[in-house]
Each structure stands twice: as C-alpha cells, then as structure tokens.
Structure 1
C-alpha cells in the first residue's frame, strides 16, 4: 500500500506540474485562451529574447522608397542575431495594400503572426480586435513590454490614445519623442533670404507683414530679367497654407490629428472649426491674397514635380515645406524659416503640430501567432533607446559612426554613395525606416532625416514660444460610432474641403456663408459633434 500510495502521489504531482505548465503557456485572446509556446523559452529580459531560435511570419507594407526585400536587409539581419528570432517578411506593395490586407483578414485562412506598418484603419483594428483576429494586448504589454510601459508612465496621453472604448489595446503605436519638436511641427514656412534683403524687409511676424512682403515681391523685378515670373507664395498644396494660418486665428489649438475640431476657448467645449467665425475670417484673408495674385494661381492643382521645378529655379518668394534645402537643391542659407504669424485678435499659435502618439496602426498580433509573448518582446525593443538607435542608424562601423561631439552620422558610402545612389536609395539598402509607419519611437538623437538638418532645428527653436500646449491624438470610436462617423465625415468633410477652395478662389462669394453653414448643419453636424464629444470624454477619462 505504501508503494502504491507513493506512486499515486508521484502521478498526481506530475499531473499538477503538467497543469501548471499548461496554465503558464496560455494567452487570452478575445476571451479564449491559446497556448503561448514562447513562455518556457523566454529570457528574463533584454536580448536575446528567447533561448532557442524561433521564426515569425510578418505581413508588411512596402513603399517605393523602402528596401525591396526585408528578408535580407541589415537592420533585421542584425536584430535576428541579437534577439534569436528570425522574421520571414511577406512584402506587400503600397499600391493595392488595402485590397490585399482586407482579403487576408477576411478570407478565414491561416494568418501571418503579425502585421507590420500595414496602415490598418482604426475602425478595422477595433473590428478585428473584437472578433479575436487581433489579440488583446493589455496584459501582454504590462508583462512583456517594459519599454512601452515606461513610455506610458512618462506620457499617459499615449496609453489613453491607444486604448479603445472597450478598454482594450490591440496594436502597437508609432511615437514621436515629445522633445523632437522639429519632427512634430511638420511642414514649415520659408522666405527667400536674398529677396528679403533686396526689399529691406525682415521675416514677417504678423499677417499684415506677410501680406506686405507678398505684395512687394509681386511688384518688384527681383529676378532682374523683366520676366515677371516671381511667385510671392507657392506650395504643392493649399493645405499647407491653411494649416499654417489657422493658428493666427486661434484655430487648430489641439493639433493636426483633428483638422476639423478643437477646443473653443470662449466656452471650453468642442468647436467645429469650419463653421466658426474665425475660420471664415481666415478664408477671407487667404481669398484676398489669392485674388491679388499673391498666391500661385494653380496651387489647387499643381503637380509636385512642377512645384519642385519652380523652387529649383528660385521662383518662390515664400513657401511651406519640410525642407527647401532637400526639395529645391538650394543652400541652407537660401531660405530663412518663418514663425507663426500674429493674427487680428493677437492669436499667434503654431497649431500645425503633431501629437506624440503619431499613429496606433504600427503593429498587430494575430490569433494564429504561437509566440505572443516573444512577439511582444520583439516589437517592444523598438521603443527603447537601443532599439531606436538600431532602427534609425543601423550598425556602428557598417552604416554610421559617432561624431566628436557625441552625435552620429551615416558613413560616406551612404551620404556620398560610390554607385551614385541618392541618400534615400543608399539608406534603403541597409535600413527600413524610409518605409514609414513602423512601431517604435522616433528620437532626435538617432533620427537622420531632414528634420535634423540645422535649418529645420533652427525653425523649430524659433517657433518654440508658439507651439500649442496640448495636442490630442486621434480619438477612438465604438463600432457603432465608427459606422456612423464613416458616413457623416465622408459627407461633411468632403463638402468642407470643396467649399474651402471655392471661397478662397472666389468661385463662391462669402455672401453664401450662411447658406454654407446651414448646409453643413443639415448634414447632421450635431450628430457628428455628439460622437466627437463622447469620444473626447472617454479619451480624457481613460
């Protein structure tokens, strides 16, 4: 009996150990538990991530500027060595991405382990999250993503913007470091320096000074050839001018993620920007510039290449773009950066400012992933300094070197490629960041894009006093709200954009303003705003 009893206890202990292992290897997905085969082979922290090599399959969007095949590119070859995780990439061209992604997710077939920078709309993240196609990440992030968790603690707005109304997180974001203001301010104003000198003018600081400068450019033969080809202001989109001037009228005071709503400072409630008196006043000002031919006449339709050609010829007295140096091939001193202009009521905001949470569609993990915890560790690395450095710089001695002042720069093979490759082409041989939209954090000290050029850093420093103090990320909606918003925003926002250009160009008179406002109200604007209000309340209370 004693022997049998011992044998029974041994069997029972074995069974309990088995149950414990099974419990340990479970990850919850949409209320159901799935086995996580990575839990027993995870290292405690850091790199490598797993003790034994594993392979993940990932679907990824590819833009033309990115490497053609990520299965053999330096950044991920190196990360495979460091992490012990091989990734097999399924490259999907940008053209046709939406169709292929939707087919993949709705076909019912086996899914890749993750979708990387696949530009999944927020509404689809929620839809497939609720269905269980994308796994719930709340607990996994808390347990296996120390770098992202640290960023949550440092900036709670990130977690708030990432959390859906059901309380769940289904994706990893793209984050811009809070202090990287040159990146966050996007396209910025520029003024042709030798024309300012010739006119004995300074960079404009007010709306009136801007008007006077444009008028002087139009009336002066600054090219010196009598051709009258000088363009006082030109851009590749009217959006740039509108986004810059909004702040002069106190508009857009919560940043670029919300082009149609902000906070009404008079009433401390959400405001629909395009029906406000301040918005009308802004359009009247821009209409004045356009009607006096101070703005490039074909700004509504100009091709990007034509814009670049005009800039290269030195025809623009002012423009708004990320970098005239890189776009026009001019010297860094040829254009002087501008600032937010003071408006009629004293407003002087640089409201064209991006939130730190740049997007929430960077990375999702699917229900067919057998290694969720390891996958979370894999992507979380890119939210650390070490991971950001690898992603944006590569490998020391192979792609970059440290400078005497403690900074970093790409090697000559990239910046002065012997095969005649452009900087972007040379970078894409080693790194994948030109693809855009990847999960992780963009940090000033590692990022080598145009936003780190001296002239752009100076532009950001000039505008520091005018940056808005609170930026909202894009709101998340419930499934029901998303369906309603899809219809409401399609009608309302399309009409707003059409009428904006008609008012500016003079094709519609401002005597029609009340009719325009009434038309928008009849498109169920109140319902549109009620949904925004609910989303805003949830965001604040998350």
Structure 2
C-alpha cells in the first residue's frame, strides 16, 4: 500500500506537467497566429458584421426615385455603418411582376427581394419550398423593432402568417392612425379656380360634374385660352376608386378593390358586376364623353402629367400632392362626395398592411440573420430617420424639441426642383412599396403636409370603418384573369368603345371566365380570416 501512495502523486505530476506543456504550446501557437478574429455576426448595434460583405437585392423602382441606388447617400452611409454593402438591381415597378416571376421560376434570384411586391401566393409557394427563409423564430432575436410592432398589432402577425404557419416576409406597414397616409392619393381641387368661378367645394357627384364643366367652359385661369384640363391623373382607375364610395361600394377598403360586403344581405359582393358599379362607370363615361377628363388619361406618363400639373392646367386631380410633386400650393382636398342614392362613404383607404411581400430573404443569402438585422434597423427611430429623412445636417435638421425638417437645399432647391426631385440623391422611399413602418414624425413625405392632413380630416367622418387586411390566399391565374378583364372592360365602358347596352353580356363573360369559382375561393379565404381573427 505504501508503494501505491507514492506512485499516485507521481502520475498526477506527470499529467499536470504534460498539461502545462500543452497549454504553453497552444499559447505559443496563438501568439504566432496573432489575435483571434471576432465572430462575423456581432451581438448587437452597428456594425452588424465584423468585416465587409456584399449582397444583391432585386428591387422595385418608381419613376420618382434615383436611377443608381448604390450612389444614394442613405445607402452609402448605411453600408459604411453596417459592413453590409447592398447592390440594388433596379427594375421599374411596371416590369417587376414579370421579372420577379422569371427569377423565382428559373432559380436566378439574388440574396433578397426589396420593394419587389411579392404576392401572398409567391410567399406561400416559395416559402414552403424553402426559397424564402422562415422568419418566425428569428424575429424575436434578430428583429427586435419589428417584433415590437407584431406585439403591438396582433392583426399584422395574423396577416403575415401563411397557411403553413410561416412568416416569410417583412412588410410595408402604415400607422393605422395616420389617415392621410392610408389615403395616399386624395382627390384634389384647384382652390384658386373654385374662387374664380365663385363655386363652393362640391359636396355631391352632381356638384363635382358642375365644377368640372365650369372649368372647361369658363376660363378660370383667365388667360383667354381654353387650355384648362378639368380632371387628370395617371390612369382612370384612381378616379373610379375615389368615386365608388359615393355609390356605397368599396366598404372594406382598398386592399380588396374587387370585393366587399353587400350590407343589405351581409354577403360578399363582386363589385365590378354590381348594378351600382355600372352607374359609377356611366357617370365617369359622361365626364369623359364631354371632355371633362383628360383625353390621354389611359396613356399619359408621369413626366407629362407632372409637367402639365406644374403649369397649373388641372382643375382636379388624383395624386399624392400637387405641392411636393408639382410645386402647386393652391389645391385643396375634396370632401367625401354624396352620390345619387344618398350614399356618402369614403372608401379610398388602404389597409395598414400595404405590401405583404415588401422584403424577403432567399436561401442564396449567406448572411440571413445579419440581413434580418439590416432591415430591422429601419423599423426603429434612428433607422426611420435615415430612411425617410436622409443624413442629419445634409438633407434634414432636428430641432431641440425633436421635430424634423428638411434642409433648405430640399425645400428651396437652387435649381427650382420639387421637394421629391430634390430628395432623390439622398433617399429612396419615393414611390413607395418599400419595407418599413410609416409614421409621424419620422415620415415627412407629402402625406404629412398640412394640406394632406386637412384633406384626411375632411373625409374622416365618412371613411371606411372596417378595413380588411390582405388575405393570405392565392386565387392563382383565375384571379389574374378576373382582375385583368375587369380592368379592360372598365376602360372600354368609360371611353364608349363598349356600350352600356352590353353590360349583361359583360357580366355573362365574367361568369364564363370563372367568377363563381373565384367568389367561392374568396369566401373560403374570408372565412379563414374571420377564424384567425377570433383566435380559433
């Protein structure tokens, strides 16, 4: 036993000595290799990554935003702050649908989709297939700002959750209390011309007709030339959406432009075949036939429209802001109009969830968690300032009370640019569809200006009370065909290419396309929405 008592400590000494030699050797190796690199994904704050990386996003672009986002000050500043250099492959919104579908179908998609207007159907299909990352478990950890929004607005989480339980996108979401933003494009009236014509603000569709007729016939600009255009906009559907509430249509908001509820029966109603919708189109046709609507309204481009507006040629228009887009301060928002059957509903109100698929991360992205943090920054206060206002001291100023204001180089540009034109080197939110949370006071776009706030105040008592969010379902090609046919026939009835005596034939054609099946699908989606809303 005595021998064992001596051998045990000796064995331990050998082990300890070997460990010391191994430790010293490892320390020497580390010293030779230099200091350890920090982990790539940093735990919080900025920068997000410990070394620079490159990413590419397929990105929707409006006509009013810059043509090379890599050079926009907002993104240059953010790339330097995050170590994440994003290259934006810009595609005009008019072409984005086809470009997006092609990229997904062929597998040639990039690291992410930004302002690409992904549909619920695409999120469902490609989320389930693993093309888009499922964000449910990541949001609490990597997107704390967006997570707070989901906690504050449970209906937002409900709408983003696909039927398989997955959340695959970050949306464009408007503050539900920001009514002027939910309206977006009011019906504006030329206030100076109303005064010149000695007419009150029109309160009914009949009075609107009388005002537009007076603009055409009575030379309100006083130049002795019949150059006035009674009404103009980028397309006729914007005007129809403004008017249909005067016939009680669109009572669940703009997220569902084709379907609402018939209050007399409590059943879903397909608006484009309703007799009241026919009356809306007959009214618009009368205006068009009498020259009270711009003749080229179906083909006019944004540049031509803004140029005419800047020359003060319109008596009325539907646009975000004559002031910020055309430097015309004399326009006032129209009241909610009363229709021929005493309906007075203001239905031109978007759902707060405006674009369900504003942003998504693909399985080609090597840094998905970092990318989620990258987008989440813009849902917080500092990120919102950068996104909507640009760089402090360059494009905006902050007063001691915390209020924000664009700098003089934006508000009074030396070359006479409009506010939106002056903003293009600094920010990219112009034209919409971006992922983010739009709220005051961070957002200082046209919807935050006094005229827009006042326009919203006027119509608020008549605004839609129950606004449906988008339903996460897919009517597929049938839905596309139905919507396309409704749009085509809307234009043909307005121009007179198809007479209203063919209305029943049009309704029959809609049923032949598959209207009954479409409405069955809609009823199922509505039922699922109600069930989810009740928390069942």
CA distance in 1, matches of 2:416, 2:230: 35
Residue 79 (1) aligns with residue 73 (2)? no
Pick the aligned partner of 1:528 from 481, 500, 518. 518
Q: 1:404 to 1:231 in 2, by over 3 A?
A: same
User: What pairs up with 1:300-315 in 2 under 5 angstroms?
Assistant: 300-315=298-313
1:325 aligns with 2:323: yes
Contact persistence 1:69–1:91 (CA under 8 A): no
100-109 or 180-189: which moved more? 100-109
Shift of 1:529: 0.7
Q: Cα gap change, 1:79/1:528 in structure 2, threshold over 3 Å: closer, same or farther?
A: same
Larger radius of gyration: 2
Give, in whole Å, the separation in 1 of the partners of 2:75 and 2:160.
26
Query: For the Cα contact (< 8 Å) 2:345–2:464, is it kept in 1?
Result: yes
Aligned mates of 2:220, 2:99 — CA distance in 1 = 52
Contact 2:326 2:418 in 1 (8 A): no
- Structure 1, unmatched stretches of 5+, are 8-37
User: Does the C-alpha gap of structure 1 residues 348 and 439 become closer, same or farther in structure 2, counting only changes over 3 Å?
Assistant: same
CA distance in 1, matches of 2:415, 2:227: 37
* 1:197-212 pair list within 5 angstroms: 197-212=195-210
Deviation, 1:173, is 0.8
Contact 1:188/1:320 (8 A) holds in 2: yes
Give the deviation of 1:192 after TM superposition.
2.1
Deviations 1:250-298 (A, max 9, x none): 1111122221111221222221001112212222222333344433344
Aligned equivalents of 1:198 and 1:421: distance in 2?
Answer: 28
- Name 1:431's counterpart in structure 2: 427
* 1:466-494 alpha-carbon deviations (Å, 9 max, x no partner): 221222233222xxxx4xx3332333223
Give the one of 231, 235, 238 matched to 1:240: 238
Give the TM-score normalised by structure 2: 0.83
| Shift in Å, 1:425 | 5.1
| Residues 173-231 of structure 1: per-residue CA shift (max 9 Å, x gap) | 11112222222212212222233223322111112222232333344343445544443
Looking at structure 2, the residues matched to 128 and 182 of structure 1 have their Cα atoms a distance apart, in angstroms, of: 34
Contact persistence 1:49–1:378 (CA under 8 A):
no
Q: Deviations over 1:330-376 (max 9, x none)?
A: 3x1x2222121012333222211111111122221222434433332
Question: 2:425, 2:315 → 1: CA distance?
Answer: 37
SS in 2 for 1:234: strand
Contact map agreement 1:340 1:463 (CA 8 A) in 2: yes
Alignment partner for residue 349 of structure 2, among 349, 353, 358? Answer: 353
Q: Indicate the residue corresponding to 2:500 in structure 1.
A: 510
Corresponding position of 1:497: 487
Q: TM-score, normalised by structure 1?
A: 0.82
- Report if aligned partners of 1:254, 1:471 keep a CA contact under 8 Å in 2: yes
Equivalent-residue separation in structure 2 for 1:152 and 1:158 (angstroms): 6
Between the aligned partners of 1:99 and 1:292, the Cα distance in structure 2 is 37
